[in-house]
Amino acid sequence: MRPKYLKVKGFLGIKRLEYEFKPGVFVIEGPNGSGKSSFLESIVFALFGSGVRFGKRVTGEYINRDHREAWVVFSFEKAGKSYEVSRSLERSSKGAIRQSASLLVMQDDRKYRITGVKEVNEELMKILGMTYDTFNTTFFLPQGEATKFLTSTRSEIAKLVMDVFLGKNFLDRIKEKLKDKMQRLKESDPTQRMEQILALMRGKRRKDLIDEKKRLERKKKEIDEKLEVVNSRVEKLMGDLRRYESYMKKKEKLEEIERKIKELETRVEEEKIVRKCKGLLGDFLALKKLEEEYTRDMENIERVSEEIDALEREKKGLISTMSDKEREKQALISEDKRIQDELEKLRVIVSSAKPILEEIFRYQHELHTLNDELKDLEERIVIKENHLKEHRGISRELLEKIRYLDEKVNSFKEDVIQWMAYEISSNLKDGDTCPVCGNVYHSKKRKETFVDFETYDHLRKELEVTKERKMRNDMEIEKIEEELHRLKDDLSRKRDRVKVLSESINAMKERLKGMGYFEGVDEKLENTLIDREKISRKLRDLEATIG
């Protein structure tokens, strides 16, 4: 059998392991408790379903205390086939232990799997050709069991050797065949059997029988040779066993002799010491006194050493404190430098931004003034437009009145002309020259006309007054229109100025933003100055402490 790989989880002292075996001999070494026995015992568990330290008993003690289950996967090759056996132990919630097993058999391209603990155990027994006890006694010798093989009886050793070299199955098969043949011989009739043999001999030629005899002799010789090899191996093992037993007995006797020698040497040394002590009592007393002085000196030395150690500890504490203070100082210096750099940056920003801010302030002040003026202009324009609307309404009313009065006056004018013609004609004679048109007057009978001159004069005066009012109103309209036009021009100019100022302010704000300026930079500068003052105070206090 050649092992290929081993995978273990939660088995005995192994929490998790994956190991691939290399061709050739390998050695596992390590201190006590490192898991060497657990490594080998996991292989035994994989092959037989039981470990070594607890025997064939399936127990939960194989499960690592940090796990609820344990499983082992072991792969090996034997007789041209590859096998992979998997076993697991699982502890239920009630504490019961359940074991499961499977065996994967691989040969060329064929694979098949066997499941079930009993079925896997039987198949592995056939594959290995040995029992759990044989394997543990020969191939695997646990700690403390190395002498069990050597102290076994001859019959036990012979059985183990036969199992190892010939295989238990091989001997069992031979026994079964011999038993079957003997049974058939007992059941058959001797006379009938003799007739069968004679018939066989008659049916075969002598040469064939001779060849068969030679073949059987050769086979017997081969079996005898194998048996001699086995016997020689057994004899060799038995000789080794006898030599080991002799060696162990001699070793025990030698150990007993050495123990007695050591006891005698101890007694001799003690006797020598007693004799020397008797002769050296005075020196012993002097030495005792020196020892007492030495003890006192050592106590003083220990006390001084303790004081020195205390001072050393205090020194180390001070050195550690100084180191901490130095690190704190360096941190404060770095922070002070950072704040100084930030202050310089803020000062540059404030200094560069100051003229721009002043210009923005002036522009904003002008913009505020312009906005007030625009508001005032807009209000004035609204008032003027209302006045214009009012005067235009008056002008329309006056125009209507003028038209009405004009019609009235014109109607009165015809009556006046008729009256005047009547009056002139009443003073002319036929053939006189008309003073109005210069033509010759021909007498005609005219109807007397009556004219209300008082009403006529009143209408004419009212018409003139109304025309005068309309003229003054039209002049006022022109004046309002001119003033309104001027106000609107002023409003347009001021709005253009507001736009220019707003654009300029926005442009300057973008410049400030590009310089790094932000709202509250002055407050930030002031706070940074306060932080720097605090750090400077801390540095002064720290330097005073270090000093």
Of residues 366 and 254, more confidently modeled: 366
pLDDT at 135: 73
For residue 503, the model assigns a pLDDT of 92
pLDDT of residue 84: 94
pLDDT band at 423 (very low <50, low <70, confident <90, very high): low
Res 7: pLDDT: 94
Least confident interval from 46-50, 117-121, 220-224, 379-383: 220-224
Mean pLDDT throughout 147-171? 54
| Between residues 470 and 446, the one the model is more confident about | 470
Chain centroid offset of residue 259 CA: 68
Mean pLDDT calculated for residue range 223-250: 75
Complete DSSP assignment for 97-127: EEEEEEEEEEETTEEEEEESHHHHHHHHHHH
Pick from 23-37, 212-226, 266-280, 374-388 the range whose average pLDDT is largest.
374-388
pLDDT of 161: 52
In whole angstroms, give the CA distance from residue 398 to residue 470.
6
Which pLDDT value is given to residue 111?
87
pLDDT for 452 equals: 73
Q: What is the pTM of this model?
A: 0.34
Mean pLDDT of the 328-336 span:
84
Mean pLDDT along residues 481-488: 93
Q: Label residue 520 by pLDDT band (50, 70, 90).
A: confident
Q: Which pLDDT value is given to residue 146?
A: 47
Which CA distances in Å does 158 have to 83, 168, 231, 240, 325? Answer: 30, 12, 9, 14, 83
In order of 402, 412, 428, 451, 529, the CA distances from 417 in angstroms are 22, 9, 16, 10, 105
Given this model, what pLDDT does residue 298 score?
77
- Other CB atoms within 10 A of residue 473 CB: 19
In percent, the amount of the chain with pLDDT more than 70 equals: 77
Q: Give residue for tokens 């102290």.
A: 151
Q: Tell me, what amino acid is at 287?
A: L
Closest listed residue to residue 397, CA positions, set 469, 457, 456: 469
Task: Give the mean pLDDT of 341-358.
Answer: 85
Q: Would you state the pLDDT for residue 280? A: 63
Query: What pLDDT was estimated at residue 167?
Result: 47
Question: What tokens does 535 get?
Answer: 């750090």
Q: What is residue 498's predicted lDDT score, i.e. its pLDDT?
A: 92
Work out the pLDDT band at 490, boundaries 50, 70, 90: very high
For position 144, what pLDDT does the model report? 47
Contact call for residues 15 and 66 (beta carbons, < 8 A): yes
